[in-house]
Amino acid sequence: MTLASPVRPDDTGLPVARGQVEPSARSEELRQAFGEIKRVIVGQDTLIERLLVALLARGHVLLEGVPGLAKTLAVRTVAEVVGGTFRRIQFTPDLVPADLVGTRIYRQATGDFGVELGPVFANLLLADEINRAPAKVQSALLEVMQERQVTIGGASYTVPDPFLVLATQNPIEHDGTYQLPEAQVDRFIFKVIVGYPDLKDELEIVARVTGAPATVASRLSPERLRWWQGQADTVVVDTRLHEYAVNLVAATRNPSLFDLGHLKRFVTYGASPRASINMITAARALALLRGRQYALAEDVWTLAPDILRHRLVLSYEALAEDVAVTDIIEQIIERVPTPQLGYAGELSGPGQRSERILAANTLGASAPVKRRWWQFGRRG
């Protein structure tokens, strides 16, 4: 059932529901956490935002980028700011499940077996070069990502809450790597492409690294983060946004529904319903991070590329013609009708994406304005 009248912004006098944060302080704590992370991480505002959104939405993140772009430093800094524990696992071909989840060991002093828990028992887990581990290790990681527990010797052990897996893979080296199972890839809420910083940001990086080391303060705690996750669950989502998310995902499976039949030969398998669910949960988290208690279509199509890019299986024709998955997602977002919910200052659709969107992505931080991929015309 569609809401008869959408929730209006707080400055229109709408009363705050019991248990919700007052509008003036609704996301201040999260903004402080974002700013604290930026004291260390330069030029990766989108990455920081996606990590915070994933934490609020209880999701996992797959990062792809060349070495040296602060992926490890970013997740370590996030762990320090949210006050959680951090572990890093370097995935290699000789890794075994016990190296990941733990194992039973014989204690000679007592004459019985005990359990030694593995590095997955942390709030933030960095799985570095995840595609270098064999299938058995991927299966063990899949269990902890989905069930948030591991099985050792027939007994189940729950990992700490909150729990986030941040996995990285190198796009330029494929020797000694394994194809990630599609079931595991689908468990990641985002796949974020980490690019090189611009010249201004790189100058700032050099100045910070060669100068006095930056320190960060803990702005949250695991208990507060769980509370914020509960707040994200209360963000209002109009059912028209549900329809919009489902339409975006359906267009990846049957492009002809939206007059995109020319894309069908490029996509072998589209996104699953889990992508639709992720769009709504992530849109709620992004709305909360930006200080709203209601989600907009803007939240959905801002996150759609990162939610969809790893879920589409392209055909051999697409590979032969060098068709990028981003190009396909771009055309889908441009073609699927964007709902208008009647909020003050609401953008009318993807065609109005402008510098304001980047400003929103940086939570008002003083970052240089850059054009995003959807502001460019189609490539011929």
pLDDT attached to residue 375: 37
Q: What is the pLDDT of residue 371?
A: 34
The answer to whether position 191 is within a domain reads yes
Judgement on whether residues 214 and 362 belong to the same structural domain of the protein: no
Verify that 215 and 275 share a domain, yes or no.
Answer: no
Q: Which of 158, 207, 157 is nearest to 42 (CA)?
A: 207
- Within a domain: 242: yes
pLDDT at 18 over 50: no
**Does residue 226 belong to any structural domain of this protein?**
no
Q: Report the C-alpha gap between 217 and 76 in whole angstroms.
A: 13
Average pLDDT score, the chain: 81
Query: Is residue 8 in some structural domain?
Result: no
User: Is 269 a residue whose pLDDT tops 50?
Assistant: yes
pLDDT mean over 58-63: 93
pLDDT band at 26 (very low <50, low <70, confident <90, very high): low
User: Per the structure, how many domains does the chain have?
Assistant: 2
Residue 12 within a domain: no
Whether 297 and 334 have beta carbons less than 8 Å apart is answered as no
More confident residue, 355 or 223: 223
Q: Would you state the pLDDT for residue 349?
A: 62
What distance in Å separates the CA atoms of residue 115 and residue 165, rounded to the nearest whole number? 22
Residues 184 and 239 in one domain: no
Check: CB of residue 271 under 8 Å from CB of residue 312: yes
What pLDDT does 6 receive?
37
**pLDDT for the residue numbered 310:** 92
- Residue 219: phi and psi, rounded to 5, are -105, -15
Residues 69 and 164 in one domain: yes
* Phi and psi angles of residue 74, each rounded to the nearest 5 degrees, phi first: -65, -50
Whether residue 104 is contained in a domain is answered as no
* Residues spanned by the domain of 272: 234-380
Q: Is residue 112 one of the residues assigned to a domain? A: no
Query: What's the pTM value of the predicted model, to 2 decimals?
Result: 0.81
Same domain for 289 and 214? no
Whether 306 is covered by a domain: the verdict is: yes
Q: Yes or no: say if 88 and 128 are a contact pair by the CB < 8 Å rule.
A: yes
* In the predicted structure, residue 361 carries a pLDDT above the cut 60: no
Average pLDDT over residues 90-96: 89
CATH of the domain at 327: 1.10.8.80
Statement to judge: residues 216 and 239 lie in one domain: no
